[in-house]
């Protein structure tokens, strides 16, 4: 088990290093000059040269990368090129709303996916099966921005049940924060539930066809006990992996959801930084996002190895 953990940690560090190199190189390749973005239209060549030197852009790209990665390893993501704010502060302020949205979306998705997937499996080829799987495909295929607009129109504009936009930190006002989080979480969580419900259905059907389940059924074990005691635990093993893999998808999907509901998260910060060629902020947001994804996948790998001991040997 220790060797398995060390192997996964080593792979995680390798991924983070590779991503840091790719991020740094790609930001230098996209069109646009952050020095010009900061100076504006009225500047002299002397001012341009001086600012370029201050920002370190007159050095080789390898030297720039080594300086940046050394600062990152020391816990310093640098300063924003445009407003001189600490990137770590900007990223932390944006990461909390995004993480809150993603966690709420996962909870909503699981609450929808698990019951519908189980019902579809135990009532295979019935109206319940077709209805739940049809709903799963429908919500999974709907674009997040369109779904969010529809939910705002119905539940905010027409019914007036929920606020249409905005974000409140949980520590500022928990009830107001949860109330404002309902529509964004449903928007993103239903997308998540569509995939997970189908995985649960197919996985549970496969487990229910195993010999040990058939033997339990032959012994007269009731269907409820057969499903929840014998089959469900094994059927949820691949679901754990899917949930971990979907964490990165939810972070990416949060960009559109944050835009629709005016949530000041990582997506909006990244888009704004890219448009303004703010290299430090873009590198910081992407690196933190990738770090969150690989950490979640590392935890899923460890949980998967715990649930399925055969993985440790592999």
Domains, the chain, ordered by start = 2-87 (no CATH), 88-313 (1.10.3720.10)
Give per-residue pLDDT as tens, 244-301.
777 767 776 677 788 788 888 887 787 778 777 777 888 888 888 788 777 777 777 7
Highest mean pLDDT, choosing among 51-55, 105-109, 256-260, 308-312? 105-109
Phi, psi (deg, nearest 5) at residue 169: -65, 140
On the 0-12 / 13-18 / 19+ scale of CB atoms within 10 A, 278 is buried
pTM for this entry: 0.75
In whole angstroms, how far apart are CA 279 and each of 16, 285, 286?
18, 10, 11
Residue 12 CA neighbour count, 13 Å, CB half? 19
pLDDT digit string, tens, across residues 184-234: 888 888 887 877 888 888 877 777 777 666 676 677 667 666 666 666 767
């Amino acid at each position: 088990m220790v060797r398995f953990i060390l192997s996964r940690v080593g792979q995680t560090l390798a991924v983070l290093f590779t991503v840091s190199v790719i991020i740094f190189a790609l930001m230098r390749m996209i069109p646009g000059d952050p020095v010009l973005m900061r100076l504006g239209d009225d500047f002299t060549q002397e001012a341009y040269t001086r600012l370029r030197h201050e920002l370190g852009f007159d050095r080789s790209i390898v030297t720039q990368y080594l300086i940046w990665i050394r600062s990152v390893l020391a816990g310093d993501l640098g300063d924003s090129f445009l407003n001189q704010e600490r990137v770590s502060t900007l990223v932390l302020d944006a990461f909390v709303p995004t993480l809150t949205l993603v966690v709420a979306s996962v909870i909503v998705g699981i609450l929808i996916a698990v019951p519908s997937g189980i019902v579809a499996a135990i009532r295979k080829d019935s109206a319940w099966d077709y209805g739940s799987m049809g709903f799963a495909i429908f919500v999974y295929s709907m674009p997040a921005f369109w779904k969010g607009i529809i939910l705002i129109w119905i539940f905010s504009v027409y019914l007036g049940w929920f606020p249409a936009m905005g974000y409140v930190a949980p520590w500022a006002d928990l009830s107001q924060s949860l109330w404002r989080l309902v529509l964004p979480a449903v928007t993103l969580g239903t997308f998540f539930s569509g995939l997970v419900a189908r995985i649960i259905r197919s996985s549970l059907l496969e487990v229910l066809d195993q010999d040990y389940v058939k033997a339990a059924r032959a012994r007269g074990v009731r269907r409820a006990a057969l499903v929840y005691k014998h089959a469900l635990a094994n059927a949820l093993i691949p679901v754990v992996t899917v949930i971990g893999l979907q964490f990165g998808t939810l972070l990416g999907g949060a960009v559109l959801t944050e835009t629709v509901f005016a949530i000041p998260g990582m997506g909006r910060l990244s888009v704004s930084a890219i448009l303004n060629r703010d290299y430090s902020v873009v590198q910081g947001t992407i690196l933190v996002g990738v770090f969150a994804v690989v950490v979640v996948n590392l935890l899923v790998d460890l949980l998967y190895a715990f649930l399925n001991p055969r993985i440790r040997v592999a």
